[in-house]
Amino acid sequence: MKLQFPKVHTDSLKKVFVSFYVNNKRYRLYNGKRINSTTDPNSYPIDQRLSIAKVLAAEVYSYLLNGGVLLSHRSNNLVCGKLSDLDYIKQALESKLTGDYSDKYKSMLQFSFNCLEQEIGASKLDVKSLKNILARYSLEFLITPSEGT
């Protein structure tokens, strides 16, 4: 990923934002929400906005250089960084939950995800964690004799 230090700009409404390019695509951030920061330059008086925006630019740059994950605006599409295993599974779950599937199937997927999330928490997903989850459940197949046999 090629990243240059974000630049501070002012739009026609006197709102400030930082802009930067990732893979030849420009991104604009008016506040730090997408990088888990509370910095919001446009909540300050106009004469202080540029200096606060420079702080936001430094936060964005540091965040992205240190492997922070940036998702597209109002989307789960990854712009840069690397999602955790759990985040990839969460995206798959959200995709399935918006699909045309039965409520029972969706409920089962949500339950499975919750079990997985509870087991691994913030740690990495590994085979041992999956085996621990599966060991809690045993499948017992009851074979009932057919009538008349």
**What is the pLDDT, as a whole number, of residue 125?**
73
Are residues 105 and 63 both part of a single domain? no
**What is the pLDDT, as a whole number, of residue 140?**
47
Is residue 144 one of the residues assigned to a domain?
A: no
Are residues 111 and 75 both part of a single domain? no
Are residues 45 and 14 both part of a single domain? yes
Is residue 51 one of the residues assigned to a domain?
A: yes
Q: Domain count for the chain, please give it.
A: 2
Angstrom distances, CA of residue 93 to CA of 5, 84, 125 = 35, 14, 16
**What is the pLDDT, as a whole number, of residue 57?**
93
Name, in order, each residue with C-beta under 8 angstroms of 21's C-beta and a sequence gap of 6 or more. 2, 3, 4, 27
Is residue 2 one of the residues assigned to a domain?
A: no
Is residue 145 one of the residues assigned to a domain?
A: no
**What is the pLDDT, as a whole number, of residue 141?**
41
Are residues 72 and 116 both part of a single domain? no
Helices (H), the chain: 46-65, 85-97, 103-120, 127-135
Is residue 147 one of the residues assigned to a domain?
A: no
Are residues 90 and 75 both part of a single domain? no
**What is the pLDDT, as a whole number, of residue 142?**
39
Are residues 75 and 89 both part of a single domain? no
Is residue 113 one of the residues assigned to a domain?
A: yes
Is residue 29 one of the residues assigned to a domain?
A: yes
**Residue 66 domain boundaries:** 7-80
Q: Per residue of the chain (149 residues), what is the pLDDT tens digit?
A: 667 889 999 999 999 999 988 777 788 899 998 888 899 999 999 999 999 999 999 999 888 888 777 765 655 555 555 666 777 787 788 888 888 989 998 898 888 888 778 777 666 777 777 777 777 765 544 345 555 55
Are residues 15 and 52 both part of a single domain? yes
| Secondary structure of residue 29 in the 3-state scheme | strand
Angstrom distances, CA of residue 112 to CA of 37, 85, 135 = 31, 15, 13
